[in-house]
Amino acid sequence: MNKAARLASAWCLAGLLCPVFALASPPANPSWDQLDTQQQQVLAPLAGEWNRYSPDKKQSLLAIVPGFANLAPQQQQRAQRKLKAWSELTPQQRHEIRANWKKLQQLPPEKREQVMQRLRQQRAQPDASISQ
């Protein structure tokens, strides 16, 4: 085989393999329609705003999908409730939550644990204003 024929064969082979490589690596910024069924099921609470997320945010959310199937059904429901609650927050509320989280992470471990314990107690108590 001469040099031109080998070069042509190599290009044809490369052309055949390119779609395989494209399928092997998922898009960095997938739209909702590009997600597979499992990804859409896990991330369903975020469907309405998925396409507005940054590529980094999408990738961090997609990272939870593989481990989701290993969670107990109660944990799966809890995770999806939390995703839904987060998706319903305003951008300002999200900003405040992120800022509070950063502050919490900067506290010394013993102080952080005290704050977390207080938050757990508040969550466990029924809201008195609702019953009145």
pLDDT in tens, 104-130: 999 999 999 999 999 889 888 865 555
pLDDT at residue 93 greater than cutoff 60: yes
pLDDT at residue 6 greater than cutoff 60: no
pLDDT at residue 10 greater than cutoff 50: no
Domain ranges of the chain: 33-88, 90-124
CA distance 45 to 111: 34
Task: Quickly state the pLDDT bin for 1 (edges 50, 70, 90).
Answer: low
pLDDT of residue 28: 85
pLDDT at residue 3 greater than cutoff 60: no
Query: Radius of gyration (Cα) for the chain, nearest Å?
Result: 23
pLDDT at residue 14 greater than cutoff 90: no
CB within 8 Å of 45: residues ≥ 6 apart: 80, 81, 83, 84, 87
pLDDT at residue 7 greater than cutoff 50: no
38-91 pLDDT, tens digit each:
999 999 999 998 999 999 999 999 999 999 989 999 999 999 999 999 889 999
CA distance 117 to 36: 39
CA distance 43 to 63: 11
Between 84 and 131, residue with greater pLDDT: 84
